[in-house]
Structure 1
Amino acid sequence: MYLKATILIYIAMKKLIRLLVIYIVPLIIISFNSNAQNEEAFKELKGIIIDANTNDPLMFTDIVIKNSNISTVTNTDGEFLLKIPESFFDGILTFTHLGYEKKEILISSIGENDKIALSPAITELEAISITTTSKEAKDLVIEMLNKKSKLYNTNNTLMTAFYRETIKKRRRNASLSEAVVKIHKQPYDNLKKDYIELVKARKKTDYSKLDTLALKLQGGPFSNLYTDIIKYPEYIFTEEDIPSYNFSYGQSTRINDKLIYVVNFQQKENISTPLYFGKLYIDANTLALTNAVYSLNVSNRELSSQMYVRKKPRKVDVYPTEATYRVNYRTTNGKWHYSYSNISLTFKVNWRGKLFNSIYTLNSEMAITDWEIKDNNMVKTKIDLIRPTTIMTDRASGFSDPRFWGAYNIIEPEKSIESAIKKIQKQLKRT
């Protein structure tokens, strides 16, 4: 089984050529629900997280208001934006990053655009040794996967999340989608699928930059949700697939003063089916998965293309050149849960008979910004729920409103995305 990140490719946005399926998936128009927004007064905090020794920005740093479930994550430039409700003005922010010491700072002491330095965690030599545990790396991974009923949230949970999806042709931004969603997260100890409800969204695509070709990421927020290896192991580590991997120990690290085992994995040489390779970060005490960073082996162009490309024109060859994934977990009251994921897919598009090819990069990320435990009847209706086959429709109006997100927390846009948003705003003013 593989992660659901299907690419639909259109010519002039009209003619659909079926490639791997015998039916045409309809374009689903999404209704936008603007209710349920917290109107409590808030203030915005902006800053950048850096390495105390090198001053390098630290991407994917977790930032949480202590004694709450309100959180965000730094972008690829190490920057963050967090909206603090009035009831937490006198609270504390907690900063955590894999391989670094945890840091706590009074909210009232943080200034505008402060630089906050995190110190690398010191790991003793004996903790680095692969002999720290007597378990084989493969056995450790199997035990980790079997821990979901004990270590992970077993309650129905309603999560608020921010989702961003970009498409670039080479280095030029061609499409930008953003959304606030509600994830109806099912308990980790059952097999029920999660639901996603769309709260607020905006999108702008510049088709002139895509020439006559347009790519659409089918699945949207679901693609990121399925990177939750513990909830959805069937997309990477099925019982049938595990024997196809080689597992080995890497150098241990620390997070929040806890020792973290690092397990490397890659497919065996005699396996031709595209599988994944990467690192699993496992808490040495509980054997909970804290982070995972991995990629798909795309050396077999034909087979890896079949995993992603659902529809394409006859005269176009499309194949992935890179497919990378990241998922982070966070613990609250001793229970772990999904907190952030990032997907980056790069595709090469060759038109038969043409000299030059095109390179497209699709990137999506989703961060949990708040959550609460709900009763068993959490999902009352499916009218406002989106489906895994959904393609977010074009909707640019929100970019003209600088207060579009209101009190909702978002991931601070990196510089290239911020520049794209400014260009969209200028275009909207002209029109």
Structure 2
Amino acid sequence: MLDRLLFRRIDNAPLIIFRVLFGVLCALESYGAIITGWVRRTLVEPRFTFSFIGFEWLQPLPGNGMYVYFFVMGTFGVLIALGYKYRFSIIAFTLMWTAVYLMQKTSYNNHYYLLILVSGFMVFFPANRYFSLDAKRNPSIKKISMPSWVKWAVVLQLFIVYTYASIAKMYGDWLDFGIIKILMQDKANYPIIGDLLQQPWVHKAVGVFGILFDLLVVPALLWKPTRKIALIASIFFHLFNSIVFQIGIFPYLSLAFIVFFFEPETIRNIFFKKKSFYNEGNIEVPSYKNSLLAALGLYFLIQLMLPVRHHFIADDVLWTEEGHRLSWRMMLRSRSGKIQFKVRNNETGKTEWINTKDYLTPKQNRRIGAYPDFIWQFAQYLKKEYAKKGIPVSVYALNAKVSVNGKPYRAFIDPQIDLANTAWDHLRHNAFILPSSVDDPVQN
């Protein structure tokens, strides 16, 4: 039964066209980051970047290096689409994209994380066996079939993403549509649809449809009677997200995944009419079966565990942010914060206030007061800057208050704790983050 599910050979048309679409989208994301100024704002202008904690050694290249970096990364996307030196190109792109993801989180996006996972999968997929320069140069690798585990790995990954995204939306601020109203407020100046997006009935429609779509789209695509309806809903949903929220290639990557849900013959007839169709259905169990099953099992176990880890950390993840990332918690909160940093010279006792504008870009400044890891990292940065002058310091976050989803500001960081000399705990609650109900609301 398991061998038939995972190791039956099926036509590889879905994988081949996905490789082409994936490569094109990777190239557009990389080149587009240069053209739109994303690279400049996020990686060139900042004096330092808020990396993932533990990856501070990953820093942007100096000068114009990151422009070259993204150009090279985009070129690897082109090579992936063409199927040229495929294995090298997909490995290089995966490593480069992962490095960018880990070296900054000021522009954090769940979709950037998904791109890492998909790129990692593509490293092991036989995606260059047809309609590729590799196959043209070396006809011996050419094949018209693939093992069915390739399809089911993609389907399971998408099921995890969408299901957790739906479950995460089942909380108060989404169910009363308050967060949707907040998310739509800065869309009011959009031409044609701006006023429409401010209507309460639109907020309700988006809220209900968002939960139902995420929960049902994968099962609906798998079941043939509902597949076309799910396709239409997917096109509407992802184009709406692209137009309204402007989240890069993700809506189009999500649409590209749909090729794995249709019959391979249908995909072949649409995209590769001259391609021979494989329908023999042979079961070929590889010698590395046990290793493959162990690797897939471990990978998907981690994928199932990461989104629920916040339940094992004290307080509400909406408040603490601990366990938010890597969890498919998409468009669930809007945060704003106020904070002041005080540095104390440990030798003289002299103190001084820090103007964050002297150190951070405008975008970083909008993040610094609202996210605890940003606050902690900035304290560490200040400690290092003063250490260069030979001055040992303590750093305190004073008057730190945060508003989540438009609610009144509340005290956020314990002003008595020296953040510069406090370790960050990845697995447990960090004590310098005050409880969400620590005091009475403080109005803005």
Q: Larger strand proportion, structure 1 or 2?
A: 1
TM-score norm. by structure 2 comes to 0.25
Q: Larger helix proportion, structure 1 or 2?
A: 2
TM-score norm. by structure 1 comes to 0.26
| Bigger radius of gyration among the two | 2
